[in-house]
Structure 1
């Protein structure tokens, strides 16, 4: 594993001690079984599952509950079985029942089944592999021709050469609402939750003790630590002098909302109760996705992995412009496949961050030298749906019990080989 620090980490500045008197250090006397750093959907899911499994858990976030500075906010995220890789089918099998449990425990609706379609030229590897994986795992699906698909989903127009794969359990998760529910459930199951607590660094005292120092000089102690800090992970690893730099890149992504044209028939329903989630594979490396209208006016559409790479996570309010040529391609996609929507001008847009690995697979692994540090949440733009299942994997690791299935696809050592494995699909 490379220990050379990227330039942006070497440029991290510290506040001069001459500018202000240092605050008084406050050391908490509790030794937590696990401290989770990062309260987005992954960190909240880890803290939820760890506390539910009986741990004495502390969850720390540098901002407030369900903030919009990371990767977990918004009105909706896609949940689906539609993956050509085995490991994501395994995660989906675990996570669908978990989301139902979370809904019951929080008494909050978080999932709406809309059905999901994956479509594109039939010769493309993602489409071929997806169908094969459905068959392998006995996931029910339908192949629709153009006429069948347009009758079932009048919101879309398809090309005669498209292969259209329908899976009924695809749907949407209510993103910000889900994060808030997980935070509340953490407390319900006994976890301590601290907002506006930025972790400055951690220190591994021994195999059974880690000290966590926040920038307000509060000190916490735990037996294990879970890094769920997304795009801030490398900065924290660097400040903590843990001799590890992850092979990740942060990008700022944008999604856009598109309302129907004035002359679109009112009988065409773009709401979550009629419109499916959809992924269109233009080719093997480029995909567009859409979600029905939920809370924000219009259909949500994005171009997967099309945003601007960032040197580091910015401050709140620091936004990069979305590439015009990418937005033009989204407009072209909508004009062709969703002609009832006004593709001339988006009604609104939102930003979020992807924390991307080179192969777009997740990281769920222990630190190579410190087994009491677990690193996760580099989810490459497709991890929200799986968060409770990732929390379950992390809980197993923290409690030193076997995970439900082999997770070597998420290991850190896969990056030791410079020739990376095939990138995952959208």
Structure 2
């Protein structure tokens, strides 16, 4: 049986766990990552080649944090000599006087970001591959773009290992025993640490229930669609930015990326999907999602084949307010929970990792963590 004593044990090797472990290793902490699947697996929320990044949030504190996230990502690029961001911009689309667009413009202005406010005519001329109603306008966030998701995970784990970090994969955690020193039991051994970080994505509620904590999260399967260009190169990152619309009809948020993962295919998805168990996510019960994407592409992307040629699955762990859960366990202060990233966490992983690593080592994070506290919910542990 394997045994070991560490400063911090991080459970979960997705982008949040890896970013936290990376920050801990850079602080000189002896850190272990435990992962139930092989590293870089495709069973959770962090796999795949691409994600959107943006300053363009409708909530100021997220935009503020993204300022730091971009700086931290640039540092990771320098450390590894790897390009991790394709800076094609991110376009927010919606009707004139849309509340989300107003909030985005305000947040970007408050951080001094470069933003183009596009009238409908300007939107049409700049992006002829898009077709939206005459009352639609756009906001182009120049800082935004496409994250090379798999490259980011590899980069985080590479630096973590270079700084002495240890990763044990294919080793499911079977029990967490609280105490002044936390003991973690796995399928292969027992490990101890001064603190433990639970960053297991959609498995968080299942892992925390034996510790008396129930999180109000819903697990959704998101079907990501890839639609073929009718004219090769027309939806490349040189022609089309990443985009987000928060005012779709029916009221589904929808997002997309230019051609990258599959050359000649743009990536488009709804910000929602059927509720599932993370252990049975591949059951085919979400045809309404692909039907909605097909209708949307047919209406707004005339340069793409409307029926997706390729579909892939991802998992969202949704909180009721779509804000994250980053907090100490209510009864065990040396167990830190990082969960519920609600489909928009990947881009903020550098900031989350820095904050969680501070919490795990007795430091006070530089960020306001109140929006992420467990006590905002009426959970079993907070009653």
TM-score by length of structure 2 reads: 0.94
**8 Å CA contact retained: 1:111, 1:173:** yes
Q: State the partner residue of 1:234.
A: 205
Supply the distance in 2 between the matched residues of 1:102 and 1:334 (Cα, whole angstroms).
Answer: 35
Supply the distance in 2 between the matched residues of 1:385 and 1:159 (Cα, whole angstroms).
Answer: 30
Counterparts in 2 of 1:417 and 1:73: CA distance versus 1, 3 Å:
closer
Q: Does 1:273 align with 2:238?
A: yes
Secondary structure of the corresponding residue to residue 193 of structure 1: strand
Supply the distance in 1 between the matched residues of 2:60 and 2:68 (Cα, whole angstroms).
Answer: 13
Q: State the partner residue of 1:221.
A: 192
Supply the distance in 1 between the matched residues of 2:80 and 2:238 (Cα, whole angstroms).
Answer: 22
Supply the distance in 2 between the matched residues of 1:325 and 1:282 (Cα, whole angstroms).
Answer: 18
Q: How far 1:53 moved relative to its partner?
A: 1.2
Supply the distance in 1 between the matched residues of 2:205 and 2:313 (Cα, whole angstroms).
Answer: 21
Supply the distance in 2 between the matched residues of 1:146 and 1:122 (Cα, whole angstroms).
Answer: 9
**8 Å CA contact retained: 1:121, 1:281:** no
2:376 aligns with one of 393, 406, 414: 414
Q: State the partner residue of 1:291.
A: 257
**8 Å CA contact retained: 1:34, 1:226:** yes
Counterparts in 2 of 1:392 and 1:269: CA distance versus 1, 3 Å:
same
Counterparts in 2 of 1:97 and 1:155: CA distance versus 1, 3 Å:
same
Q: Does 1:121 align with 2:86?
A: no
**8 Å CA contact retained: 2:244, 2:254:** yes
1:191 aligns with one of 165, 177, 182: 165
Q: How far 1:153 moved relative to its partner?
A: 2.2
**8 Å CA contact retained: 2:174, 2:185:** yes
Supply the distance in 2 between the matched residues of 1:401 and 1:221 (Cα, whole angstroms).
Answer: 20
Q: Does 1:308 align with 2:274?
A: yes
**8 Å CA contact retained: 1:84, 1:130:** yes
**8 Å CA contact retained: 2:16, 2:352:** yes
Q: How far 1:211 moved relative to its partner?
A: 0.4
Counterparts in 2 of 1:133 and 1:348: CA distance versus 1, 3 Å:
same
Q: How far 1:101 moved relative to its partner?
A: 1.1
Q: Does 1:138 align with 2:112?
A: yes
5+ residue gaps, structure 2, are: none
Q: Does 1:379 align with 2:345?
A: no
Q: How far 1:191 moved relative to its partner?
A: 0.8
Supply the distance in 1 between the matched residues of 2:346 and 2:145 (Cα, whole angstroms).
Answer: 13
Supply the distance in 1 between the matched residues of 2:288 and 2:220 (Cα, whole angstroms).
Answer: 17
Write out aligned runs for 1:18-33 (5 A): 26-28=1-3, 30-33=4-7
Supply the distance in 2 between the matched residues of 1:399 and 1:52 (Cα, whole angstroms).
Answer: 12
Q: State the partner residue of 2:318.
A: 356
Supply the distance in 2 between the matched residues of 1:27 and 1:110 (Cα, whole angstroms).
Answer: 35
Supply the distance in 1 between the matched residues of 2:36 and 2:238 (Cα, whole angstroms).
Answer: 36
Supply the distance in 1 between the matched residues of 2:20 and 2:347 (Cα, whole angstroms).
Answer: 14
Q: State the partner residue of 2:362.
A: 400
Q: How far 1:65 moved relative to its partner?
A: 1.5
CA deviations 1:77-102 (Å, max 9, x no partner) are 00001111122112201100111111
Q: How far 1:402 moved relative to its partner?
A: 2.3
Q: How far 1:27 moved relative to its partner?
A: 4.7
Write out aligned runs for 1:27-106 (5 A): 27-28=2-3, 30-106=4-80
**8 Å CA contact retained: 1:75, 1:296:** no
Supply the distance in 1 between the matched residues of 2:158 and 2:81 (Cα, whole angstroms).
Answer: 11
Corresponding pairs, count: 378
5+ residue gaps, structure 1, are: 1-25, 419-426
**8 Å CA contact retained: 2:223, 2:289:** no
Secondary structure of the corresponding residue to residue 290 of structure 1: strand
- Say which is worse superposed, 50-59 or 140-149, in terms of deviation: 140-149
2:293 aligns with one of 287, 312, 330: 330
Secondary structure of the corresponding residue to residue 205 of structure 1: coil
**8 Å CA contact retained: 1:365, 1:375:** yes
The two structures, once aligned, show a CA RMSD in angstroms of: 1.8
TM-score by length of structure 1 reads: 0.85
Counterparts in 2 of 1:88 and 1:322: CA distance versus 1, 3 Å:
farther
